[in-house]
């Protein structure tokens, strides 16, 4: 039943992407905003911030979807992508759920020297509603208070550079881009919609940049070298068991890796 809900939600997102007008098309707009921030404003990272513990692994999932698909240095025809404005190609994706992120990297989001576009994801309904006796709001309301407050803080900031009465350490420049997605509930259908929206977003980015979002040659080089390392370790272990000394081929690895391997196999 849960799987059917996820598939149903994903299908509804597919239909929306195929039929909705551009100014109402959620995945297309997500992709356009992302390209604007990356290519025209030069932002090289973006933060995905779900205000739902059920989505704790969603930022890691999107890292794979986005960075593996669009983390390219050439376009689909093999031409090098520009590395100066206007820049193209995938950005760094990171994030944590809710208030966990607030107490780790939000400081940099609000006052760091390089603005980082943020994408907030929340839900109207809680999966596990709890209301403490005598409290005016539920635990979900407490969480969502932060969901609504953080984009405002990023956009509006606090104080003015001309405000001499404001401690410089407490100055917030604002004008930091963000967008918010508010779902009815983060149930199986909502998760299916969310996953499909972001898959389509990544595809939109790839089309606009002219890259092939469906190959991942960047992961192959390290895997190939790992096979050589494994062979090296296998030979070293066999030599150790037989009591013989084996001189490793120096050309197989760079000097620092060679030294580290020698240390590793000697212990």
In Å, how far are 35, 158, 170, 248, 252 from 48, measured between CA atoms? 16, 23, 25, 45, 40
Residue-wise pLDDT for 155-164, tens only, equals 999 876 666 5
Q: ω into residue 150 within 30 of 0, thus cis?
A: no
Residue-wise pLDDT for 219-241, tens only, equals 888 888 899 899 888 888 888 88
Confirm whether pTM is higher than 0.85: yes
pLDDT at 200: 98
77: which 2 tokens?
């025809």
257 pLDDT exceeds 70? yes
26 pLDDT exceeds 80? yes
Lowest mean pLDDT among 96-105, 117-126, 181-190, 256-265: 256-265
Alpha carbon distance 80, 88 (integer Å): 10
250 pLDDT exceeds 60? no
pLDDT at 249: 60
Residue-wise pLDDT for 190-205, tens only, equals 999 999 999 999 999 9
How many Cβ atoms from other residues are within 10 Å of residue 211's Cβ?
23
The DSSP code for 156 is H
Residue-wise pLDDT for 169-181, tens only, equals 888 999 999 999 9
Q: Which residues does the annotation mark as catalytic?
A: 68, 103, 223
The DSSP code for 38 is I
Residue-wise pLDDT for 68-100, tens only, equals 999 999 999 999 999 888 889 999 999 999 889
């Amino acid at each position: 039943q849960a799987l059917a809900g996820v598939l149903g939600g994903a299908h509804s997102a597919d239909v929306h992407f195929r039929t909705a007008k551009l100014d109402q098309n959620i995945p297309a707009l997500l992709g356009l905003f992302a390209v604007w921030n990356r290519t025209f404003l030069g932002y090289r990272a973006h933060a995905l911030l779900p205000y739902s513990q059920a989505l704790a692994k969603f930022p890691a999932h999107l890292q794979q979807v986005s960075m593996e698909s669009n983390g390219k240095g050439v376009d689909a025809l093999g031409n090098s992508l520009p590395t100066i404005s206007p820049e193209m190609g995938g950005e760094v994706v990171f994030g944590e759920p809710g208030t966990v992120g607030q107490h780790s990297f939000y400081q940099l989001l609000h006052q760091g020297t390089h603005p980082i576009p943020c994408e907030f994801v929340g839900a109207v309904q809680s999966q596990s509603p709890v209301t403490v006796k005598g409290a005016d709001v539920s635990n979900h309301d407490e969480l969502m208070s932060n969901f609504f407050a953080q984009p405002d803080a990023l956009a509006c900031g606090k104080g003015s550079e001309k405000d001499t009465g404001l401690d410089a350490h407490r100055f917030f420049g604002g004008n930091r881009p963000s967008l918010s997605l508010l779902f009815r509930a983060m149930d199986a259908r909502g998760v299916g919609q969310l996953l499909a929206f972001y898959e389509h977003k990544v595809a939109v980015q790839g089309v606009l940049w002219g890259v092939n979002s469906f190959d991942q040659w960047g992961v192959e080089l390290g895997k190939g070298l790992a096979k050589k390392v494994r062979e090296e370790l296998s030979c070293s272990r066999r030599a150790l068991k037989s009591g013989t000394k084996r001189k490793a081929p120096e050309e197989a690895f760079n000097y620092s890796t060679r030294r580290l391997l020698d240390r590793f196999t000697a212990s």
